[in-house]
Amino acid sequence: MNTDSPASGTTAHAVLSYPQFLWKALGVATDGGPLFYGWMTALTAIWLVGVNAFAHQTVHGQGLTAMTDHVSWGMYIGNFTFAVGLAAGAVMMVIPAYVYKDKEMHDVVIVGEILAISAICVALSFVNVDIGRLDRLWHMIPGIGRFNWPVSMLTWDVIVLSGYLLINLHVVGYMLYMRFLGRTPDKKWVLPFVFLSIVWAVSIHTVTAFLYSGLGGRPFWNSAVLAPRFIASAFVSGPAFIVLALQLMNRLTAFKAGEGAVQTLIQILRVTALANLFLVFAEVFTEFYTGGSHVAAAQYLYFGLHGKNALVPWIWTAIACDVFAAIVFLTVDPKKNLWIIDVACVATLFGLWVEKGLGLIVPGFVPSTLHELVEYVPNMVEWKISLGIWALGLMIFTLGLKIAVAVFTDAMHVEEA
């Protein structure tokens, strides 16, 4: 996808053509073949099931979920953590594209930014369905509510997540709109934001890590290595997702990504997958070598504790997937056996979803601060809402890409009156 100067310039008015842009985008978003309609209908159906479950949860309270006073965060916050990582990892394309001026990467970097937008929407949705009183969200608005910044890490998280969403919306929106208008994007409206997004991506996941690692009462989380672990795993999940997305786009759309982009991402994955495994190992060593009662949560996760072992098969499958993926990235030649790399990407995405999602949140609460063992297994309501939100995220991602492809292949462009 060539995002450089378009074939011809236009004289369309920058502001007044915007409604046309939106209208045409709507048209592109609802136009497609049977596969597209089937995909979007299925996603919409899943999303509506989630919406309905969410409506029930709002009325009857979160008692409908499997969360308790012992394990008071579960599926939603686990998925939130993973989604923030995915959003942060999308920036891994920006670095080679803009810092190292990799041409082929530059053409596809918008895919990463659209992933960032979708993943942030997913993350924000997960946080919002976890809030006990959604009608009181206005209490967080500084000035009219009370915003406990800078002391509460949650306030930092609100700022950085919203900021990251806005930055990426701006960059994507601006690039798409300029191309739509047939104009050359003005670098001063793009480059500073792009470089800011690199720093900001690191910050969103660091702040999310600090949410957990700052709590002295939760020794499983209260570790300095949590923030580096988050960054490392973000930089695995993001590129892995994009490697799969780019190949799907090549197959299913008019857009053809250059081979180089996928190769660069796989090179990145070689390093980051190992870094992630190393940090997990460092954490596991410190826990188990020291021993004592602070290792109880890690014991529960990896080996089970006092007969409670619901998470044990999950975490070992996840570790196996991560190890498998790391080995594959290092040894398999992507030019010859790209399909094995794809399997590894799926495997590591699953592994990270477990290891950084439920496999991080739940052991923080097991055992509880009074050392009571209450297990947590998400129930139907939580599954429905979670799948619904992921479906929404995939919808946003699909539509974002569809519009981007249409714009950059000049299929969607401004019509001057």
Least distance to another protein, CB of residue 180, Å: 21
* Amino acid (one-letter) located at 364: G
Indicate the residue among 17 and 62 with the shorter CB distance to another protein: 62
Find the binder of another protein among 101, 132, 188, 199 (CB under 8 A).
132
User: Residue 274, interface with another protein (CB under 8 A)?
Assistant: no
Stretch that binds another protein, among 108-116, 247-255, 259-267, 370-378 (CB under 8 A): 370-378
| Residue number with CB closer to another protein (10 or 379) | 379
The residue among 48 and 191 lying less far from another protein, judged by its C-beta, is 48
Does position 365 interact with another protein (CB under 8 A)? The reply is yes
The 189-228 site mask, x for binding another protein (CB under 8 A), equals ----------------------x--xxxxx----------
Number of residues that bind another protein (CB under 8 A): 67
The nearer residue to another protein, 334 or 359, going by C-beta atoms, is: 359
CB 117 within 8 A of CB 168: yes
Residue ranges in 325-354 that form contacts with another protein under rule CB under 8 A: none
Of the pair 5, 52, the CB lying nearest another protein is at 52
- What's the closest the beta carbon of residue 177 comes to another protein, in angstroms? 24
Footprint of another protein on 287-326 (CB under 8 A): 293, 296, 306-307
Site for another protein in 6-35 (CB under 8 A): 30-31
Annotate each residue in 45-84 with x if it binds another protein (CB under 8 A) or - if it does not, as one string: ---xx-xx--xx-xxxxxx--xxxxx-xx-----------
Residues that bind another protein (CB under 8 A): 30-31, 44, 48-49, 51-52, 55-56, 58-63, 66-70, 72-73, 130-133, 135-137, 139-140, 142-143, 145-155, 158, 211, 214-218, 293, 296, 306-307, 364-365, 367-376
